């Protein structure tokens, strides 16, 4: 199979998926290894980006790839979706999202411990917009849900992966949530939450 054939299949695959497709799935479909698949995809990305007559491109998102419209077309594309768009994220929701992004997986109790206020509404809004998801339950009394960011989060904010997240100097919040939940249980990974309350997360 020649290179153009591979590109044709990948283009059709990403278009049909309408969302991020993992590199593993792409390799499975076209029957090649990751190195070859990434080379083909990188060539496609360059080709799309260097062609001013094309309105789409391919973006790498969290070890996968997705076909997207080019950023410069936003002012036109938003007209299509404006009638069904809901309000954007509030400052509280953005704050909650930042906490989850830098401390995932994390429970609602830990989020509220950091913010100092109830976060039910913010978490519900982020779940509704599919920017976060439930990723399991903490092994503690009550089995609280754990939350993490999604591929949609990476896509919306322009990050390829965790390594693209901006680095902040965190101030440790010296609390022990596990002792509050159950004094007899040992400290676990969900307790080590750090955030710099002086930083502006954008």
pLDDT single digits (tens) 139-162 = 888 899 999 999 889 888 878 777
Extract the tokens encoding 114: 């950091």
Encoded tokens for 162: 């965790």
> What pLDDT does 75 receive?
84
Q: How many CB atoms lie within 10 A of CB 3?
A: 12
pLDDT bucket at 185, cuts 50 / 70 / 90 = very low
pLDDT of the residue at 11: 94
State pLDDT tens for residues 43-61: 999 999 999 999 999 999 8
pTM, 2 dp: 0.52
How far is 160 from 154, CA to CA, in rounded Å? 6
Residue pLDDT, tens place only, 12-36: 999 998 889 999 999 999 999 999 9
For the domain bounded by 3-80, which CATH number is listed? Answer: 1.10.10.10
Give the pLDDT confidence score for residue 2 in this predicted structure: 79
Interior/surface letters 106-127, b for 16+ CB within 10 angstroms, e for the rest: bbbbbbbbbbeeebeebbebbe
Q: Would you state the pLDDT for residue 18? A: 86
pLDDT of residue 197: 32
Question: For the chain, percent helix, then strand, then coil, each to nearest 5?
Answer: 50, 15, 35
More confident residue, 177 or 130: 130
Mean pLDDT of the chain: 80
Domain with CATH 1.10.10.10 in the chain: 3-80, 91-191
Q: β-strands 64-69, 106-107: how paired?
A: unpaired
Among the four given CATH numbers 2.60.40.10, 1.10.10.10, 3.80.30.20, 3.40.50.1100, the one describing domain 91-191? 1.10.10.10
Packing angle of the helix pair 120-128, 108-115 (nearest 10 deg): 120
Residue 43 pLDDT = 94
CA distance to 78, 110, 189, per residue, from 115 (Å): 32, 9, 19
What are residue 145's phi and psi, to 5 degrees?
A: -70, 150
- What are the two backbone dihedrals, phi and then psi, of residue 2, each rounded to the nearest 5 degrees? -85, 170
pLDDT of 168: 56
Report, as an integer, the average pLDDT of 98-115.
Answer: 92
116: left (phi over 0), alpha (psi -120 to 50) or beta: left
């Amino acid at each position: 199979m020649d290179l153009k054939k591979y590109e044709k299949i990948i283009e059709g695959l990403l278009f049909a998926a309408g969302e991020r497709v993992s590199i593993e799935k792409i390799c499975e479909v076209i029957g090649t290894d990751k190195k070859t698949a990434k080379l083909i995809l990188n060539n496609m990305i360059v080709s799309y980006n260097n062609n001013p007559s094309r309105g789409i491109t391919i973006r790498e998102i969290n070890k996968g790839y997705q076909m997207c419209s080019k950023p410069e077309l936003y002012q036109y594309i938003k007209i299509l979706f404006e009638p069904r768009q809901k309000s954007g994220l509030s400052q509280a929701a953005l704050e909650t999202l930042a906490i989850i992004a830098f401390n995932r997986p994390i429970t609602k109790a830990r989020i509220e411990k950091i913010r100092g206020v109830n976060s039910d509404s913010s978490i519900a809004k982020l779940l509704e917009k599919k920017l976060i998801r439930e990723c399991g339950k903490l092994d503690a009394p009550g089995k609280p849900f754990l939350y993490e960011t999604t591929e949609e989060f990476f896509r919306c904010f322009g990050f390829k992966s965790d390594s693209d997240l901006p680095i902040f100097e965190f101030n440790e919040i010296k609390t022990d949530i596990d002792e509050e939940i159950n004094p007899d249980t040992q400290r676990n990974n969900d307790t080590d939450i750090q955030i710099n309350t002086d930083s502006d997360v954008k």
